[in-house]
Amino acid sequence: MARYRGPKTKIARREGISLAAFGNYEGAALKAAQKKNYPPGHNGKRGSFSKPSEYAKQLREKQKAKRIYGVLEKQFRRYYKKADTMEMATNVSLLTLLEKRIDNVVYRSGLAETRRQARQMVSHGLLNLNGKRVDIPSIEVSIGDKIEVRDNKKKSPLFDDIKKKKAKAPKWLKVDLKGLNCEVIREPAKDDLEQIIEAQLIVEYYSK
């Protein structure tokens, strides 16, 4: 499946967000967040920012959400259509569905430093979901689901630093970093959702 694998700094500037949105980039996140009076890219200094239209704002917000969660257009549209049928407001439902992707849960739990790393961990079959090996990053988790690093992978150097960290996961997850596992104990609340995404703009984009 096609994925953007280029510089995250360029994308962060284009979408007006910090690299921290993609994961733990620390110093690089600060650099990307610095505002400049010209667009990103090789020819950026030759141009200038203009006031975006409402459509442009909606489009950029959609692109921002796709890039943060690593989702392509066709799949993102399916998330929107599903969210539009749910009881909650569509903007809240959309972000909730994205948060409940198993790769995002792995990232939120602290088992991975970035969403990209979490997606790779799932794709490479390093994790079990309820005792069974999984390799599909888009799996939607439910209350009671338990995600755990497979026994034969727990001694990998990849997890040495993670075992020593203090869990800082959202309250909808119960995390044991030393044991390299987490459990979904409730649905994500509105305050648990990605705060830098204005999902209502995405709803307006698809409602046209």
CATH code of the domain in which 106 resides? 3.10.290.10
Assess if residue 72 is contained within a domain. Answer: no
How many structural domains does the chain have? Answer: 2
How far, CA to CA in Å, does 6 sit from each of 9, 12, 107, 173?
9, 11, 20, 31
- 3-class state of residue 184 by DSSP: strand
Separation of alpha carbons 77 and 74, rounded Å: 5
Sheet holding 127-129, edge to edge: 132-134, 127-129, 146-149, 181-184, 173-176
pLDDT of res. 208: 82
Separation of alpha carbons 128 and 111, rounded Å: 13
3: domain range? Answer: 1-50
Separation of alpha carbons 133 and 8, rounded Å: 30
The phi and psi torsions of 184 (rounded to 5 degrees) equal -85, 115
| pTM of the full structure | 0.81
pLDDT of res. 169: 94
Alpha helices, H only, the chain: 8-15, 27-33, 54-69, 73-83, 90-99, 102-109, 115-123, 160-164, 199-207
pLDDT of res. 111: 97
pLDDT of res. 27: 46
Assess if residue 168 is contained within a domain. Answer: yes
Same domain? For 105 and 180 the reply is yes
Same domain? For 106 and 177 the reply is yes
| Under-70 pLDDT residues of the chain | 1-49
Separation of alpha carbons 120 and 58, rounded Å: 29
